[in-house]
Chains A and B, each alone.
Chain A
């Protein structure tokens, strides 16, 4: 009966049956149907950001609240006036009980939660969005914003959907592999992307890897959001629907983060990925195999191999050394870094930026604390969830007791007791719902912590770019003197031979050429290093600002949420306390 509503199938079975029981109770909707809908929407759009809280979320089953029955059911009188008009209890009057306690047509006054914190629950997020520097917030908590960010006029919204199995066309007799493609839909008004418009492409995961790699090349020093992991056991895991769904969600998040980055959102690489129909027109730069083949022609002359210096584009130097034809360079840079660490002499250019080193240290500490906080947040979410579950089970047990007592009643005392129990049970079930809603909101807010773990990785990446660029500079710088020395030695030896030593002279020519190339490369490398340093600086500054704003919003969202639901629960229980006030012994003690 809940199958159609549940977007995910992650319910535990006993929770399932409990919910079925509860749904049969026709307790009616309470004041939170409003809270249900946007969250329902969010699940349908696949917006639920349940990254790190998967275990909690899987049994949370969001807010497809099976406790809210279809609208045809009578709603108990004491529900929130935001809903359909109240009426008397239909179901419970059939128990044959004379309501001893308060009249069942009593209307609950509007909850303070709704009045004071009027943008509350699902709405509070958009309030926060609207009031603050919401572009930042909405970029990082896409699932929270129902509407595009209100303060800036730019928007870009990416959706990943409809995974499909496809077959690789292959010339081989065996036939191709199957793989999954996803539909990437972009809606934007950015002129760079031809907006305002909406367009879709189909991409496979391999394309995403390519995109990530190309971005890493083009945007060294930037804090680039990390892409989703490849799966080791890909082909086996791939059949599972769960895996595909997880990946879809992860891809969506990744692309949204990319599009949130003020520089990367305008990149050609991202544009090609989002727009270019058919095959992704980005070169696989890490295709080691083809580069090796290519490299057979232009052998590893990168920087300063032996043999003729042919036109190795000096621009190559701005890329970090990779495998394949950069082996030689890798080797030399490795030697350099070892010498940096263990050698007695200082490297020619040193990371003299104390500020940078301190920053790096701080970032590391911050990352540790974010990890810790993220873990504790997960525990908190679990505890809230458990509380809600147990409260619900308690309520159910008392509902059964109520029914039982009423059926078997032979005395008035029993009927009174049954009625008292009913009030308690109803409240417990309501409270249980509140806990569940509270929790799904909490997950969304605290998810910010988890988001930033990803961003910390991006920062590490940016710092690593800087370090590797520096290493390149250092390596080049240390090569030059030794090259010079060799030239001098050859010149000295050659001058001793009368008439010139043809082979030596040729060698000297070659070396001089190499020196020139190396000089040029060195200069390029230094410029690159400076550029990366600047990228680092501005990125880290931007990120710090964004992170602080996002954390503030997270805290506010979390707190507002807690207040609102605590108020709701307080009201529910206060009502029960009032209805049972004849049992108040504190006043009557002699």
Chain B
């Protein structure tokens, strides 16, 4: 069941529930951040509202309370289960304690979490995940339990096996004298990897400057405020009409200061944040690339091991050894594992191909929106600055006419 390719709105509200019920929809919003707990234990909780007509869900609307680590749980699960798919990124944990509860940070995080969940809800494959349903519907206690299981030191047995196998393969590599890790070497894939790594650098730089630009807006706003005040004080020392002119100038300056602060906020939310999100996305792709690398290695190794076992088996069969039975069983087991590993790897490859296409289209759309909003915001700001100053000119003209 796929949701149709909508124009994705970042705010998370997609089709309205009023649309004909035949059209499947799943829309989520993350709202209403509230600080809970005290001191070091304090955290923010969010209201997650799900609206859907999908039968797997418990009803048309469901509201649950979630915290950041619940989102982390969801992402970790999806990352494990849907290898090859670019799971949307999460906003970072904040290192700086002071900043963690600032209004700006909370809002930025809320918006990012909202986008996160909605992207998952829109993804044709991932949206069917049971973990997603758990996340969106389970009551808080259940959620806590799940989360504790996952993020605690009690890792699931499957993970332990995986870790063990990784170590094993590293050891065997060393033993067999394999220095170089096994890697795919297709030209197309190489190109993709190179692209992703380079892209991250470029984007990070752009994002850095975007963030600085936000600061510059704030600084300019502040200096206009201070300038306005100083000019007004100066006007108070001068007689008329200069005094009045200064006073008008100062007032306008203060007014524009406010506009600049507003625009700073807009640039932050609508331009810098999307860029940051873009960077995170690319980083998550890198993680997927790493997964693919691991899967490829497994596939290669198991294929090789299988071949060895096959050769061994053939040898034993020729010599009509009584170990044939055992060897045959081993061989079949390894072969099955190898096939699993190969399928896993191939599924990742297929998924990634689709995902790349999706990613590019999605990013073009999202960046287009971000650029458009940025340009609009700057245009609006510039025009209101022009209007404000322009309105002062007739007054200034009048004043200077009086004077001389």
CA distance A424 to B213 in the complex (A): 14
- The yes or no answer to B389 lying at the interface (CB within 8 A) is yes
Taking CB atoms and an 8 Å cut-off, the chain A residues in 502-553 that contact chain B are 544, 548-549, 551-553
Contact across chains for A133 and B404 when beta carbons are under 8 A apart = yes
Contact across chains for B382 and A559 when beta carbons are under 8 A apart = no
CA distance A416 to B385 in the complex (A): 32
Q: Which residues of B contact A552 (CB under 8 A)?
A: 241-242, 245, 396, 399-400, 403
Q: Which residues of A contact B357 (CB under 8 A)?
A: 411, 413
CA distance A567 to B397 in the complex (A): 20
Cβ of A101 to closest chain B Cβ, rounded Å: 10
Contact across chains for A548 and B239 when beta carbons are under 8 A apart = yes
Q: Which residues of A contact B226 (CB under 8 A)?
A: 376, 379-380
> B185-203, CB under 8 A of A: which get 1 and which 0?
0000001000100110011
- The yes or no answer to A401 lying at the interface (CB within 8 A) is yes
Cβ of A118 to closest chain B Cβ, rounded Å: 14
Contact across chains for A576 and B389 when beta carbons are under 8 A apart = no
Q: Are A560 and B382 CB-contacts (below 8 A) given A373-B230, A401-B202, A580-B372?
A: no
**Quick one: closest A residue to B231, CB to CB?**
A373
- The yes or no answer to A95 lying at the interface (CB within 8 A) is no
Contact across chains for A551 and B224 when beta carbons are under 8 A apart = no
CA distance A563 to B376 in the complex (A): 18
Tell me how many residue pairs across A and B have CB atoms closer than 8 Å: 210
Contact across chains for A421 and B367 when beta carbons are under 8 A apart = yes
CA distance A377 to B253 in the complex (A): 12
CA distance A366 to B236 in the complex (A): 9
Taking CB atoms and an 8 Å cut-off, the chain A residues in 539-585 that contact chain B are 544, 548-549, 551-553, 555-556, 558-560, 562-563, 566-567, 569-570, 573-574, 576-577, 580-585
CA distance A552 to B243 in the complex (A): 10
Q: Are A404 and B364 CB-contacts (below 8 A) given A397-B205, A562-B385, A569-B382?
A: no
- The yes or no answer to B148 lying at the interface (CB within 8 A) is no
Candidate in B15, B195, B199 with the most chain A CB atoms within 10 angstroms: B195
Contact across chains for B217 and A566 when beta carbons are under 8 A apart = no
Q: Are A559 and B230 CB-contacts (below 8 A) given A390-B213, A397-B209, A582-B368?
A: no
Q: Are A380 and B375 CB-contacts (below 8 A) given A393-B209, A570-B382, A580-B368?
A: no
Contact across chains for A424 and B389 when beta carbons are under 8 A apart = no
Cβ of A151 to closest chain B Cβ, rounded Å: 11
Query: Which label, helix, strand, loop or mixed, suits the secondary structure of the B interface?
Result: helix
Q: Which residues of A contact B224 (CB under 8 A)?
A: 380, 383
Contact across chains for A375 and B230 when beta carbons are under 8 A apart = yes
Taking CB atoms and an 8 Å cut-off, the chain B residues in 350-379 that contact chain A are 356-357, 360-361, 363-365, 367-369, 371-372, 374-376, 378-379
Cβ of B119 to closest chain A Cβ, rounded Å: 16
Contact across chains for B230 and A569 when beta carbons are under 8 A apart = no
> B389-404, CB under 8 A of A: which get 1 and which 0?
1101100110110011
CA distance A582 to B372 in the complex (A): 9
- The yes or no answer to A351 lying at the interface (CB within 8 A) is no
Q: Which residues of A contact B340 (CB under 8 A)?
A: none
Contact across chains for B223 and A382 when beta carbons are under 8 A apart = yes
> B226-260, CB under 8 A of A: which get 1 and which 0?
11011101101111011001100100000000000
Q: Which residues of A contact B233 (CB under 8 A)?
A: 369, 372-373
Contact across chains for B393 and A567 when beta carbons are under 8 A apart = no
Q: Which residues of A contact B81 (CB under 8 A)?
A: none
- The yes or no answer to A588 lying at the interface (CB within 8 A) is yes
Contact across chains for A394 and B209 when beta carbons are under 8 A apart = yes
Contact across chains for A420 and B371 when beta carbons are under 8 A apart = yes
Cβ of A169 to closest chain B Cβ, rounded Å: 51
Contact across chains for B364 and A376 when beta carbons are under 8 A apart = no
- The yes or no answer to B1 lying at the interface (CB within 8 A) is no
CA distance A424 to B377 in the complex (A): 13
CA distance A558 to B246 in the complex (A): 12
CA distance A410 to B392 in the complex (A): 53
Contact across chains for A577 and B376 when beta carbons are under 8 A apart = yes
Candidate in A384, A416, A424, A560 with the most chain B CB atoms within 10 angstroms: A424
**Quick one: closest B residue to A580, CB to CB?**
B372
- The yes or no answer to B386 lying at the interface (CB within 8 A) is yes
Taking CB atoms and an 8 Å cut-off, the chain A residues in 197-220 that contact chain B are none
Q: Which residues of B contact A416 (CB under 8 A)?
A: 364, 368
Query: Which label, helix, strand, loop or mixed, suits the secondary structure of the A interface?
Result: helix
Contact across chains for B368 and A574 when beta carbons are under 8 A apart = no
Q: Which residues of B contact A377 (CB under 8 A)?
A: 227, 230
CA distance A218 to B164 in the complex (A): 98
Is the interface on chain A under 10, 10 to 19, 20 to 34, or 35 or more residues?
Answer: 35 or more
Q: Are A576 and B382 CB-contacts (below 8 A) given A397-B206, A552-B400?
A: no
Q: Which residues of B contact A404 (CB under 8 A)?
A: 198-199, 202
CA distance A423 to B367 in the complex (A): 12
CA distance A431 to B400 in the complex (A): 32
Instruction: Pick from A394, A414, A427, A555: contact of B249, CB below 8 A.
Output: A555
Contact across chains for B227 and A417 when beta carbons are under 8 A apart = no
Instruction: Pick from A376, A560, A566: contact of B385, CB below 8 A.
Output: A566
Contact across chains for A555 and B206 when beta carbons are under 8 A apart = no
- The yes or no answer to A140 lying at the interface (CB within 8 A) is no
Instruction: Pick from A383, A548, A559: contact of B216, CB below 8 A.
Output: A383
Instruction: Pick from B208, B209, B379: contact of A574, CB below 8 A.
Output: B379
Contact across chains for B238 and A366 when beta carbons are under 8 A apart = yes
Q: Which residues of B contact A376 (CB under 8 A)?
A: 223, 226-227, 229-231
Contact across chains for B237 and A365 when beta carbons are under 8 A apart = yes
Q: Which residues of B contact A241 (CB under 8 A)?
A: none
Contact across chains for A417 and B386 when beta carbons are under 8 A apart = no
Cβ of B241 to closest chain A Cβ, rounded Å: 8
Q: Are A373 and B234 CB-contacts (below 8 A) given A379-B227, A549-B403, A567-B382?
A: yes
Instruction: Pick from B249, B379, B397: contact of A577, CB below 8 A.
Output: B379
Q: Which residues of A contact B173 (CB under 8 A)?
A: none
CA distance A398 to B379 in the complex (A): 19
Which 3 A-B pairs have CB atoms at the shortest separation, nearest pair first?
Answer: A570-B382, A566-B386, A573-B379
Q: With contacts A373-B233, A401-B206, A552-B241 known, what are 13 further pairs, Cβ within 8 A?
A: A366-B238, A373-B230, A377-B227, A383-B223, A393-B212, A420-B367, A420-B368, A549-B403, A549-B404, A552-B245, A553-B400, A555-B396, A563-B390
Q: Which residues of B contact A (CB under 8 A)?
A: 7, 9, 13, 15-16, 191, 195, 198-199, 202-203, 205-206, 208-210, 212-213, 215-217, 219-220, 222-224, 226-227, 229-231, 233-234, 236-239, 241-242, 245-246, 249, 356-357, 360-361, 363-365, 367-369, 371-372, 374-376, 378-379, 382-383, 385-386, 389-390, 392-393, 396-397, 399-400, 403-404
12 contacts between A and B (CB under 8 A): A383-B223, A383-B224, A413-B357, A413-B361, A556-B397, A566-B382, A570-B386, A574-B375, A577-B372, A581-B372, A583-B369, A584-B372
